Amino acid sequence: MRSGAAEALGRIGDARAVESLIKALNDADGDVRRSAAEALGRIGEPAVESLIKALGATSEQIRRTLQTPWAGSVNRPLSR
């Protein structure tokens, strides 16, 4: 359910979702983390500053989630 919510937020593309999606990058569920990362990529530029901060975070889990193949797809549709 949380994974689906993150996906929906990415489809909507509203920058107001960035804070919640950044928090979801630290979720225990890998699917939620992946969906949040993809949603942030879909939101694009409004998420960049928060993503940079998250990359600098001490959490190895967050850094691994953000260093995925989609990283170059910011603000472009993701293929499924």
pLDDT given for residue 79 in this prediction: 46
* Backbone φ, ψ for residue 14 (5° rounding): -80, 130
pLDDT given for residue 78 in this prediction: 46
More confident call, 64 vs 73: 64
**Residue 53 CB burial class (10 angstroms; 0-12, 13-18, ≥19):** exposed
Tokens 């359910």 belong to which residue? Answer: 1
Give Cα separations from 58 to 11, 45, 55 (angstroms): 29, 23, 8
pLDDT digits (tens, 9 = 90+) for 23-52: 998 899 999 998 998 899 889 888 888 877
